[in-house]
Structure 1
Amino acid sequence: MSGLKKTNIVLRKTIEELRRQASRSNAPIWGAVAEELSKPTRRRRAVNVSRINRHTAPGDIVVVPGKVLGAGDLDHPVTVAAFSFSKTAIEKIVRSGGRVLHIMDLLRENPSGSNVKIIG
């Protein structure tokens, strides 16, 4: 289990699969996301919708290695993958025409990690 001490089984499985896919597909982005998720909860990233709005263009694919929060507005459609979302963040992303995914769903859709930005 490579020294993981996470009690959340979903988080453990996500980190393991991200590391596996990073080496299998030679996609360092998934290794970087796994490292971010391995940090303690208090050091994990929390990103507001407003930050996603500032740093993306319509149609971008972003991954947040942590939680997406609902502060701010999103005025263009983006695909956002994260470990968790607040209810208001989901509503705002969907309302703008975007998609909300768990990191594992994005990993299945895009195993090479091409055209994916890490925001946080």
Structure 2
Amino acid sequence: MPKPTGPMNPLVIEIASGIRKKYPDVARHLTRPRRKKPGVNMNKISRSSQDNDVVIVPGACLGEGSMERKVTVYAMKFSSSARKKIEAKGGKCLPLSQLMKDGAKGRILI
């Protein structure tokens, strides 16, 4: 059985260590293998948020479904269709590394 090596991307390591105290669940999901990181669709974000909410996605934000709310989304990666849908409703798409600087409190979608 191969020995687990942990995350190799220096950006992921930096983000995970920076937000570990405030968001331990997000840090734990960031250090998972890439194949186990969650992808969150627009439907899930729209269902579980209100207008002007802050949403944290520790994986990829995908564009399946419709966006019905104005939200700020922090994610590791955005698909082009997800970015267009969020910004069309007046929301913001921000990288997860920006979460450390902003210190925003948000709803975690895993």
TM value normalised by structure 1: 0.82
- Segments of structure 2 that go 5 or more residues without pairing to the other structure are none
1:60 lines up with 2:53 in the alignment: yes
Partner residue of 2:42? Answer: 49
8 Å contact from structure 1 (residues 4, 38) kept in 2? no
Q: Does the C-alpha gap of structure 1 residues 12 and 4 become closer, same or farther in structure 2, counting only changes over 3 Å?
A: farther
Counterparts of 2:74 and 2:15 in 1: how far apart (Å)?
13
CA RMSD of aligned residues (A): 1.6
Moved over 4 A (4+): none
8 Å contact from structure 2 (residues 6, 33) kept in 1? no
- In the alignment, residue 107 of structure 2 is paired with which amino acid? K
1:96 lines up with 2:89 in the alignment: yes
Judging by fraction of residues, say which structure has more helix: 1
Aligned positions of 1:1-120 closer than 5 A: 5-19=6-20, 22=21, 27=22, 30-110=23-103, 113-114=104-105, 116-120=106-110
- Segments of structure 1 that go 5 or more residues without pairing to the other structure are none
Identity of aligned residues (%): 31
TM value normalised by structure 2: 0.89
Deviations 1:23-43 (A, max 9, x none): xxxx3xx22110011111111
Q: Number of paired residues?
A: 107
8 Å contact from structure 1 (residues 53, 76) kept in 2? yes
